[in-house]
Amino acid sequence: MQIKLANANENIEQEQKAKRKEAMSDVALARSLVRDIGGPGRVNEVLYAAYRRLRKMFPHEHDDLSQWTETRLRGWWYGTSKHVYHWQMVELFQAAAKAKEERELIAAARREHAEFIKKTSNLAALLERSDAAQMGHQA
């Protein structure tokens, strides 16, 4: 009888651990999305940047309970919060997608600017050489 009770207790504990792992996977995903939204940097900078972006994109002015707070983001970051609501996950995904898109646009603009600088410096060097050649012919 005691063996059956011990096995039953083990099964219950394993089920509870599995449920906790599932709940933590949502929190872990939320943490990852917060990192994507906030970008690179120190933890406080990442959290504040993510908070500003989420607050700007989703103000929830008429619903105090749905407003984005730094405390909520910190809870996911440090694993003290045990759940993430569906609407929060949807908004996190949207904000992360927009942040990724903006970073890609910035990277493309930087590449384009670097190409422009390279072309203009090459043209300036060519102009200097042609000016020097013309000055050599005049003398």
C-alpha pair distances (Å), 7 with each of 12, 13, 14, 36: 9, 10, 10, 43
Count of CB atoms situated within 10 Å of the CB of 95:
22
Q: Output the pLDDT for position 68.
A: 94
Distance CA 68, CA 51 (A): 7
What is the gyration radius of the CA atoms in the chain, in angstroms? 28
Q: Is the residue at 6 inside a domain?
A: yes
Q: Is the residue at 81 inside a domain?
A: yes
Q: Is the residue at 130 inside a domain?
A: no
pTM of this structure:
0.68
Range of the domain at 55: 2-103
Domain count, the chain: 1
Q: Is the residue at 45 inside a domain?
A: yes
pLDDT in tens, the chain (139 residues): 555 555 666 666 766 666 665 545 799 999 999 999 999 999 999 999 999 999 999 998 888 888 999 999 999 999 898 889 999 999 999 999 999 999 999 999 999 999 999 999 988 888 888 877 777 666 5
Label residue 58 left, alpha or beta by phi (over 0 means left) and psi (-120 to 50 means alpha): beta
